[in-house]
Structure 1
Amino acid sequence: MVSIQNIFSSIAFAVLAQSAVIPNDTSLLNQTNSTGFVTLDFDVVRKPLNSTAIAQHPIKRRSIPLQLSNDGTQYLAKLTVGSNKQSNTVIVDTGSSDLWFIDSNAKCEGEDNNCKASGSSGTWGKDTVGIGSVSIKQQFGEVSDTSVEERILGIGFTASEFSDTKYPNVPVTLKTYKTGTIIFGGLDTAKYSGKLIAETITRNTDLTIELNSLNYNGQTVSINQDALPDSGTTLTYLPANVVKSLAKKAGATSETDSDGNVTWHVPCKSSTSGNAVFSFPNGAQITVPLSEFVIDEGDGTCNWGIQQADDIILLGDNFLRHAYTVFNIDAKTISIAQVKYSTTSNIVSI
């Protein structure tokens, strides 16, 4: 258990691990003597979802389960809102900071009434939000006109909120819910290999760390730019010059649409033997199999799992599936280790 009056929030993401809690590793978190704590245990289950298989950990503490499921492109959790506890499925998004729901009477503004593009409008509200068995009073966006259909639980810095007036977002509210800390997920030391290495968060507004280089199946390119591990993004997005330099190695070709948007494709029969290794300044390395970079679209074409970034580098789900990451917002670090497939658990707490 972590009780952390001094620690803002510790958010652990282990997208392939079956369960997670905080281990006894003081290099990641500062130990205090407060007895108050609240934890949220994320159970990440790949489809098909089998609720009876959710791991139960033995630590005797107040635990607030919050199941996190994967629909193939994003990670989802269920929250309730209002006194009547309306259930809402939200995307847990490390790349944004606001909680927002879509009003039941919202008007779809998408092309041909298809809410798939970007852009929404509405009002700010405040009501009771239920997360597991915890209820908090929380500000959120209530969308009335939208061209998207997803509801979002953003867990990034408050500096990235869309509101002109900054407010306590969900991680901040959960921190003040009791004297201790709120832990999203946590750590199970049996679910990663090697040592968790803390990499410094490089921005005050985004959960970014520096990405030094990428070795793609033997070809290494230097990058040395900020990268956002983004659970709300499916693929990995790198600078255009990096993508172009690796394209020949991957057998990738580009296609530009009428709006100038570039999409990179690879042959569906591309070899998936080999790996891509992502390296970070303090020595963290994550190895991702090449199978994560051949994305079958089901129409005879395959997209490359690496695409061009418009601005910031995004390390999406095809990266995160192979990384065990701990977001420590107070310490401004993201600790990384190689995820390990294991049916065993070694759950410890500070």
Structure 2
Amino acid sequence: MERGSVHGLINDQNKIHTQIKKTNPINKRFLFDSTVSSWTTTATCTLYGSFNTGSSDSFQANSSAPKFLINYADGSEAWGVWGRDTVSIGDINIGDMSFAIGQHSTSEIGVCGIGLPGLQSTAAKGYEYLNLPAKMLADGIIQKNAYSIFLNSSKGTQGSVLFGGVDRSKYKGDLVTLPMVNTYFTGKQVRSTIALKDITLAVGRKKVKVTDGSYGVLLDTGATYTYVSESVFHSIGKSLMGKYDSSLNAYLVNCPGKDAGTINFDFNGITIDIPLGDLTTSFAEDICMLTIFPKMGSNYFTLGNNFLRYTYVVFDLEDLEISLAKANYGGNPDIVEISRYIPGAAKAVGYLSTSIASSFGTGTIVQTLKYATASGSIASSEISGESTRSSSSTSNSMLSTSTSVSAKVLSLSTADAGNGAGLQGILGLLFGVLLNIFV
């Protein structure tokens, strides 16, 4: 296959998923997630394609592996057995690939996990396997267990993952490298977390810092939105003069105008600025819901796709580093191979002195900001009274975990993917991915 050739992944609402062919061939679609184990549904789940082990002449069950069981935060789950088979992406064949067979599942679509091995569902039982990028490295398809993520526009529904390479046309300035930090403070690294120095709200010349220390943050392609500590959540909502809605566990704010301001994420060497309007979603007339939510029961933040839309990210799973740059939505592809180091990346100024808090702070920092609203007025006081949802806003609410939308295969096929609800525990952005394998 030619270097830099493009192969299709599939897009669907609240999910990132790819089409992979097993032998004979059998087409199967998976949610694409940077954290969890890889597993597929059996022949009884047909919405996104099915995998009948009896129809593959190369499938081998792994009787020595523990039983497969995985649970997600919303109660979704799958369980079954482990096995091996040859999987193909375009012209690339990956033999003896390990994945689980979800014989019983509350979801109709499987998962292609590409995170660190310590987060695999069987890691606690001593069974770890080579996931997709690790197996590509072992087979000599790529030169380093690393991949880059890019969403093609701040408002778009497409993105790309580049295994073993970096596209220099997709970011501005320099790639800044940060070490992964262990939010568990013991044992080996299991999550792709880095240190976030602070979060600042900026409107004109006025800036308000809403964090009270450095925290570990997970860059998660499987999360649609951003999740922070409860104190930071309230600091942001109150500083924007929002009204907290306990039934939504969210803040309602005046819809920001185009030039309302930004929320800035400072990583001690690079700052990613996100327009306020892109961290909200329409809720009712002139009222928006802030899509930054509180994260409970965890000591790290999660930055999802409403953050990643503005960021070019390179995950280096060998050296346990992540490189960031501001996303660039223009330019012709300029793909370079990753060998020993990430090309064009430089270590952050504070690389050797990275530290994070071991727990969330409890103080709420509030300094209100006046910003331009979408209606042309200035948000200068807190929203009062109960907001009434419009029927259109309610049906299209980005909080919905079962929204359906037709999807289309982007290169391997042009057939409609059909409608259906996603796996609620690992929501992702509506995201049509182009898979580039650098060989």
TM over 0.5: same fold? yes
Aligned AA (2:28): N
- Distance in 2 (CA, whole Å) between partners of 1:316 and 1:80 is 28
Which runs of 5 or more structure 1 residues have no equivalent in the other structure? 1-37, 39-60, 109-115
2:60 is the alignment partner of 1:102: no
The structure-2 alpha-carbon separation of the partners of 1:252 and 1:298, relative to structure 1 and needing over 3 Å to count, comes to closer
Q: Secondary structure of the equivalent of 1:104? A: coil
* Aligned counterpart, 1:149: 108
2:276 is the alignment partner of 1:318: no
CA-CA distance at 1:301 after TM superposition: 7.1
* Aligned counterpart, 1:75: 16
- Give the share of equivalent positions with the same residue, in percent: 25
CA contact (8 A) 1:237 1:306 kept: yes
Aligned AA (1:172): A
TM-score, normalised to structure 2, is: 0.58
* Aligned counterpart, 1:216: 201
The structure-2 alpha-carbon separation of the partners of 1:270 and 1:327, relative to structure 1 and needing over 3 Å to count, comes to same
The structure-2 alpha-carbon separation of the partners of 1:99 and 1:64, relative to structure 1 and needing over 3 Å to count, comes to farther
2:280 is the alignment partner of 1:294: yes
Q: 1:61-90: CA deviations, max 9, x gaps?
A: 545533345435333221122x22221222
Larger Rg: 1 or 2? 2
> Which structure carries more strand by proportion?
1
Aligned AA (1:221): V
* Aligned counterpart, 2:133: 171
* Aligned counterpart, 1:86: 26
Say how many residue pairs are matched.
Answer: 277
- Distance in 1 (CA, whole Å) between partners of 2:137 and 2:43 is 30
* Aligned counterpart, 1:344: 332
CA contact (8 A) 1:214 1:220 kept: yes
Of 249, 252, 258, which aligns to 1:266? 252
CA contact (8 A) 1:120 1:145 kept: yes
CA-CA distance at 1:121 after TM superposition: 1.7
2:125 is the alignment partner of 1:162: no
* Aligned counterpart, 1:113: none
Q: For residues 184-203 of structure 1, what are the structure 2 equivalents within 5 Å?
A: 184=147, 185=162, 186-203=165-182
The structure-2 alpha-carbon separation of the partners of 1:246 and 1:120, relative to structure 1 and needing over 3 Å to count, comes to same
Which runs of 5 or more structure 2 residues have no equivalent in the other structure? 48-73, 148-161, 183-188, 339-439
- Distance in 2 (CA, whole Å) between partners of 1:345 and 1:64 is 11
* Aligned counterpart, 1:65: 6
Bigger shift: residues 240-249 or 299-308: 299-308
TM-score, normalised to structure 1, is: 0.71
* Aligned counterpart, 2:386: none
* Aligned counterpart, 1:303: 289
CA contact (8 A) 2:81 2:100 kept: yes
- Distance in 1 (CA, whole Å) between partners of 2:327 and 2:246 is 36
The structure-2 alpha-carbon separation of the partners of 1:99 and 1:195, relative to structure 1 and needing over 3 Å to count, comes to same
Aligned AA (1:316): G
The structure-2 alpha-carbon separation of the partners of 1:210 and 1:309, relative to structure 1 and needing over 3 Å to count, comes to same
The structure-2 alpha-carbon separation of the partners of 1:179 and 1:133, relative to structure 1 and needing over 3 Å to count, comes to closer
CA-CA distance at 1:336 after TM superposition: 0.3
Q: 1:102-141: CA deviations, max 9, x gaps?
A: 1121599xxxxxxx85222222222122123222221112
The structure-2 alpha-carbon separation of the partners of 1:106 and 1:179, relative to structure 1 and needing over 3 Å to count, comes to closer
Aligned AA (1:198): T
CA-CA distance at 1:256 after TM superposition: 3.5
- Distance in 2 (CA, whole Å) between partners of 1:308 and 1:299 is 25
CA-CA distance at 1:197 after TM superposition: 0.3
CA contact (8 A) 2:315 2:323 kept: yes
Q: Secondary structure of the equivalent of 2:218? A: strand
CA-CA distance at 1:93 after TM superposition: 1.1
2:234 is the alignment partner of 1:244: yes
CA contact (8 A) 2:4 2:335 kept: no
